[in-house]
Amino acid sequence: MKRAIVFGLALVSTGLVAACSSDSTAPAIGTGSPSDTTPNTPGGGSQVPGEVTPQQTLPVDSSFKPTPQQALDYMRYLGPSLLGRVLTDEEEAKITAGAASAVKPMVETWVAEPGFVEAVKSMMEIRLGSNGTRGKADFNLPGYIVRHVVKNNLPWSNILTSTTCYDATDKAIACDTGAPFTAGVLTTRGFLAGNEGRFNLGRARAMLLTFMCRDYPVEDSLQPYIDKVRLKLMFRASNASEQQVAEVAGGFGNGLQCFSCHGQFSNHAQPFVKFDQSGTWIADATGAQSTTGQLGESDRSLMASHFDTPAEAALEKAQWFGSDVENLAGGAAVMAKHPKFRECAVQQLLDMGVGLDLGFDTKVKGLAVMGDFLAEIAKAVTTKSPDPTIQELAVATYSDVRVMAATLNGLKR
Amino acid sequence: MKYLFPVCALFSVACTGIFDGQTPGDQSSNVPLTNNPATPGGGSGSSTTTNTPTTTTPAGAPFKVRNTEPELVPFDMRVRRIATAIGVSVDHAMFADMNKNSLKLGDYDYANGALPDGSWNANRIAAWLLALKPVCNSAEMKAKYPTLPESLPALVRAAWGHVPSPDDTTDFQNAIAASGATPTVNYESTCMAVFAAAEFVYR
């Protein structure tokens, strides 16, 4: 018995001990010897795990010229996240020979791999909070749309403008909300049911975080505030003295500055007003506050509108990012064309590839990458390809030397 | 072999997903960029375990990499990496147990309220090892890596992305020598150790 324990412990802990001890033998990315440019080959000739060479903080600007080892470290870190595999010997040899010049052509081949398709699908499933099945509702539909768009090199905007859904075999099928319009992943019961909630705040916020990389309150240049008088009385208050609704004045919700967020929430939530909790579109939904339900709920498993007048509350019309829209499809179309949508995709790609520190201060809620940097990358892509694929955005992002430098800086120890 | 699983559980009592330098209350500090706070990052693993966070962010840096602690590679990425290392597709029958128990192994199912779970505790390690049994005993695994530990360098290269260090190799050799186990047991255990190693399951 003792021998068996020792065996099991030793054998298993050969690998597992690294998880429990700072005395890890795991290789340090960005810390290999600069002279170690030999590609890994089974049986020898590779970077020795645990060898740590003191390294200075790399300059994060366009002057950065990665060494072959730095390029290799970067790609070794990036590759498994994008592809679900480690680098091949041939890939390591190419990077070793070409350093930074080998990165872009290699990323171009990577984004054509099935692993990249699945990685993007998983990323979006998690952001949209939708996968699996519940009863007859297939929460996988958003992921299937994403997979179809990526696999077929369609413009990334199609995830918001797709007029059809897809099944597990990638066969086109009708979307499942029953609405007389479509808006890609937004008009799937998976997304709608997965993010349902009072006043449709959850749906609006998931939309904003996922596709615009913003959180409330958004800069008003991006989402202009609504006229206060159109809102229910409780949402009009910008401060305590303005609050005229007793139960809210007592500190309900975020307290007394309702308008700071709901002045924008209101417009974003309104196009969801006819989708019930299950994501089914109800033509005669009114957006009226239920007399028996909780605040923010309407009857028939629907949610209440922010708008004060019954006529306006019952409509799907709203203003998204400065444009008037008729319904959710209109809002999705506005987003799909918006520069911030593509900039947000760059941020999502960075998080998928290298993992972003959310504590990094960009001064903008929801942004974990400096906005001007995202804008620069996205603009460079759209100059050549106005409605780019996620692959085009990925190649531009991952082959940017500043991304390499910032990643390597973060991975040294 | 029958002791392997309880041993793993015992071992992992000291390894419940809380890492050096991290207090229990710290775990939320590594919230990834997601709309669902309980989820792990969208990325997945490489062979890096970086326990010491860096604090230096150069002026003008456009972002900072999340590096305060290792992150569990998402379930689907772990399966994909095993499949690639063995040279089979992810829908191969050897992964049936793994897929059947995917939620126990950290996968997500939003339709039924299961969010991605990046913890790596005793139960999960045991479940992972159990799910690895059919993989490690598959004909495809044995065809690709006929003998272990003899094929260890190739397996580790394919799974971890680099060849094992001399220390790694020595550890494996010593453990096997001490075990006195049969070649069959050694094969299975070595295979499991490679695919359950921190090098493999963490980013």
pLDDT digits (tens, 9 = 90+) for B145-162: 999 989 999 999 999 999
Q: Do B33 and A368 touch (CB under 8 A)?
A: yes
Instruction: Bin A199: left if φ > 0, else alpha if -120 < ψ < 50, else beta.
Output: left
Q: Do A22 and B52 touch (CB under 8 A)?
A: yes
Distance from CA of A243 to the nearest CA of B (A): 30
pLDDT at site B67: 86
Q: Do B62 and A86 touch (CB under 8 A)?
A: no
Q: Do B199 and A18 touch (CB under 8 A)?
A: yes
Distance from CA of A137 to the nearest CA of B (A): 9
For residue B113, the chain A residues in CB contact (below 8 A) are: none
Distance from CA of A379 to the nearest CA of B (A): 16
Q: Which of B35, B85, B198 sits opposite A26 (nearest CB)?
A: B198
Q: How many CB pairs under 8 A join A and B?
A: 338
Q: Which residue has the tokens 């696999």?
A: A151
For Cα atoms A211, A177, B103, give the angle at the middle one, nearest 5 degrees: 65
Distance from CA of A198 to the nearest CA of B (A): 17
List % helix, strand, coil for chain A (3-state, nearest 5).
50, 5, 45
Distance from CA of B157 to the nearest CA of A (A): 6
A178 vs B114: CA distance, rounded Å: 27
How does strand A323-325 pair with strand A165-166? unpaired
Cα four-point dihedral sign A336, A404, B85, B52: negative
- 3-class SS of residue B130: helix
Altogether, the residues listed in chain B come to a count of 203
For residue B157, the chain A residues in CB contact (below 8 A) are: 40-42, 46, 86
Task: Give the DSSP per-residue string, A230-288.
Answer: GB-GGGG-SSGGG---HHHHTT-TT-S-HHHHHHHHHHHHGGGTTB-TTS-B-TT---P
pLDDT at site A167: 97
pLDDT at site A253: 59
pLDDT at site B11: 37
Q: Which of A40, A133, A369 sits opposite B111 (nearest CB)?
A: A133
Q: Is the pLDDT of residue B15 over 60?
A: no
Q: Which of A7, A25, A210 sits opposite B168 (nearest CB)?
A: A25
Which residue on chain B is closest to A373 by alpha carbon? B62
Contact between residue A253 and residue A201 where contact means Cβ atoms under 8 Å apart = no
Q: Do B63 and A355 touch (CB under 8 A)?
A: no
- 3-class SS of residue B176: helix
Distance from CA of A225 to the nearest CA of B (A): 23
Q: pTM for the whole thing? A: 0.85
Residue from A171, A175, A138, A173 nearest A160 by CA: A175
Which residue on chain B is closest to A357 by alpha carbon? B66
Q: Report residue B47's pLDDT band, with 50, 70 and 90 as the boundaries.
A: very low
A239 vs A259: CA distance, rounded Å: 8
Residue from A283, A124, A116, A285 nearest A190 by CA: A124
Which residue on chain A is closest to B197 by alpha carbon? A15
Residues 6 or more apart from A216 whose CB is under 8 A from it?
A: A205, A208, A260, A261, A264, A265, A365
Q: Do A40 and B125 touch (CB under 8 A)?
A: no
Greatest Cα pair distance, chain A, in angstroms, is 78
B192 vs B129: CA distance, rounded Å: 6
Distance from CA of B56 to the nearest CA of A (A): 8
For residue A122, the chain B residues in CB contact (below 8 A) are: 42, 74, 76-77
Strand partners, B65: A356
Q: Going residue by residue through chain A, which has 413 residues, state the pLDDT in tens, using 9 for 90 and above.
A: 333 333 344 355 444 433 333 333 333 333 333 333 333 333 333 443 333 344 578 888 888 999 999 999 999 999 999 999 999 999 999 999 999 999 999 999 999 999 999 999 999 999 999 999 999 999 999 999 999 999 999 999 999 999 999 999 999 999 999 999 999 999 999 999 999 999 999 999 999 999 999 999 999 999 999 999 999 998 888 877 777 776 666 655 555 678 989 999 999 999 999 999 999 999 999 999 999 999 999 999 999 999 999 999 999 999 999 999 999 999 999 999 999 999 999 999 999 999 999 999 999 999 999 999 999 999 999 999 999 999 999 999 999 999 999 999 988 64
Cis peptide, bond prior to residue A217, ω within 30 of zero: yes
Q: Do A84 and B77 touch (CB under 8 A)?
A: yes
pLDDT at site A249: 63
A259 vs A254: CA distance, rounded Å: 10
Angle formed by the axes of helices A100-110 and A390-398, to 10°? 160
For residue A410, the chain B residues in CB contact (below 8 A) are: 54, 64-67
Contact between residue B76 and residue B43 where contact means Cβ atoms under 8 Å apart = no
Q: Do B58 and A58 touch (CB under 8 A)?
A: yes
